[in-house]
């Protein structure tokens, strides 16, 4: 079991509201975790760098959503992109998450490992963008692999170089979000650039990680024939590593969070794709030889 460093404790007056801060540790799907409340800034940064803590938004147990079998999905805090259709804008800032000990996360996986093995499930890190916290996530994955538990990373791949090849070798499956095949559209959708996603997909494919590509279909934004063809072309670069492509229809389930956080929502009046549109996009990918869901 990994050893956790000792921490200095922040004095109460250094917290915005110490009672409120401590109560939040037990909220947001984080009950059951031992969480270091009141780290001072020096220890917080040091522990984040070493992976002795991770900043977590929430976690849940689900089936056939974030990888095969029954899975523990951990939503990490912090994301460098600002996707127009983001369902979880409350995960954008790392500081809004709660610090969780590495040992507490590993203990949680150990508690469920027999369930994971029985169902072919495992641990999935999502976000936000879990690649913002490579030390914590990779150390958890290493521990999971030692237990014989399947590992899955849900990512945009935008932070490609945050992960070393050694870290990647502990990832069994990657849910890779290819948000657009066209550079200009990718910039419009995310505020970022496309190439790191391509580079990451090629790296993990070369190292033996299986890939499930995820593509969000937004009418009027990502749905053009040319854009979908370019997404298919990107997926072809990953070769046989791609097991299937998920075409995910846009929906408005995330809109209440944008409103609650008083962030202008760019897709306020957008509609989900029609059955006809989705069928066209699915066929485009199938014409390239992919299995599509």
Predicted pLDDT of residue 31: 59
CA angle (117 as vertex; 241, 115 as ends), nearest 5 = 130
Give CA–CA dist 59/124, Å, rounded: 10
Q: What is the mean pLDDT of residues 152-159?
A: 98
CA distance 137 to 74: 10
Query: Would residue 9 count as lying in a domain?
Result: no
- Is the pLDDT at 252 greater than 50? The verdict is yes
Average pLDDT, the chain: 88
Host domain of residue 210: 39-287
Q: Where do runs of H (alpha helix) occur along 191-238?
A: 195-206, 225-236
- pLDDT tens sequence across 236-246: 999 999 999 99
Asked if residue 209 lies in contact with residue 200, where contact means CB atoms within 8 angstroms, the answer is: no
Mean pLDDT of 68-87: 96
In a domain, 189, yes or no: yes
Going across the sheet that includes 242-249, the strands are 98-101, 53-63, 70-76, 122-126, 150-155, 173-177, 210-217, 242-249
Residue 226 sits in a domain whose CATH number is 3.20.20.70
Q: What angle do CA 121, 52, 75 make, to 5 degrees?
A: 40
The reply to whether 217 falls in a domain is yes
Are 217 and 277 in contact by the 8 Å Cβ rule? The answer is yes
Question: Would 263 be classed as within a structural domain?
Answer: yes
Confidence band (pLDDT; 50, 70, 90) for 137? very high
Flag whether pLDDT at 90 surpasses 60. yes
Q: What is the pLDDT of residue 40?
A: 72
Number of folded domains that form the chain: 1
Q: Is residue 25 part of a domain?
A: no
Phi, psi of 34 (to 5 degrees): -80, 120
Query: What phi, psi does 7 have (nearest 5°)?
Result: -115, 150
**Residue 283 confidence (pLDDT):** 98
Judged against a pLDDT cut of 50, whether residue 17 lies above it is answered with no
Facing residues of 126 across strands? 75
Residue 21 lies in a domain: no
Longest dimension (CA), the chain: 62
In a domain, 185, yes or no: yes
Q: How confident is the model at residue 44 (pLDDT cuts 50, 70, 90)?
A: confident
- Position 8 in a domain: no
As a whole number, mean pLDDT of residues 34-53 equals 78
For 186-233, write each residue's pLDDT tens digit: 999 999 999 999 999 999 999 999 999 999 999 999 999 999 999 999
With cut-offs at 50, 70 and 90, classify the pLDDT of residue 274.
Answer: very high
Q: Which pLDDT belongs to residue 156? A: 97
């Amino acid at each position: 079991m990994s050893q956790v460093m000792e921490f200095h404790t922040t004095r109460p007056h250094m917290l915005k509201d110490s009672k409120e801060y401590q109560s939040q540790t037990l909220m947001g799907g984080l009950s059951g975790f031992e969480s270091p409340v009141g780290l001072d800034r020096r220890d917080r940064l040091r522990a984040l760098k070493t992976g002795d803590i991770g900043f977590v938004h929430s976690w849940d147990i689900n089936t056939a959503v974030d990888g095969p079998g029954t899975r523990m999905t951990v939503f990490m805090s912090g994301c460098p992109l600002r996707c127009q259709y983001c369902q979880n804008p409350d995960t954008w800032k790392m500081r809004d998450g709660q610090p969780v000990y590495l040992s507490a996360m590993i203990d949680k996986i150990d508690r469920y490992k027999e369930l994971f093995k029985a169902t072919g499930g495992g641990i999935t890190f999502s976000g936000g963008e879990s690649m913002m916290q490579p030390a914590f996530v990779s150390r958890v994955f290493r521990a999971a692999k030692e237990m014989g538990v399947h590992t899955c990373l849900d990512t945009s791949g935008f932070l490609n170089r945050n992960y070393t090849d050694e870290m990647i070798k502990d990832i069994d499956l990657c849910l890779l979000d290819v948000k657009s095949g066209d550079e200009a559209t990718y910039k419009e959708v995310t505020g970022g650039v496309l190439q790191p996603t391509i580079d990451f997909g090629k790296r993990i494919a070369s190292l033996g990680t299986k890939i499930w590509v995820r593509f969000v279909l937004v009418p009027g934004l990502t749905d053009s024939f040319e854009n979908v063809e370019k997404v298919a072309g990107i997926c072809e670069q990953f070769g046989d590593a791609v097991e299937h492509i998920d075409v995910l229809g846009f929906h408005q389930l995330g809109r209440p969070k944008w409103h609650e956080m008083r962030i202008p929502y760019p897709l306020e009046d957008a509609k989900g794709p029609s059955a006809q549109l989705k069928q066209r996009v699915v066929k485009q990918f199938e014409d390239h030889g992919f299995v599509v869901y």
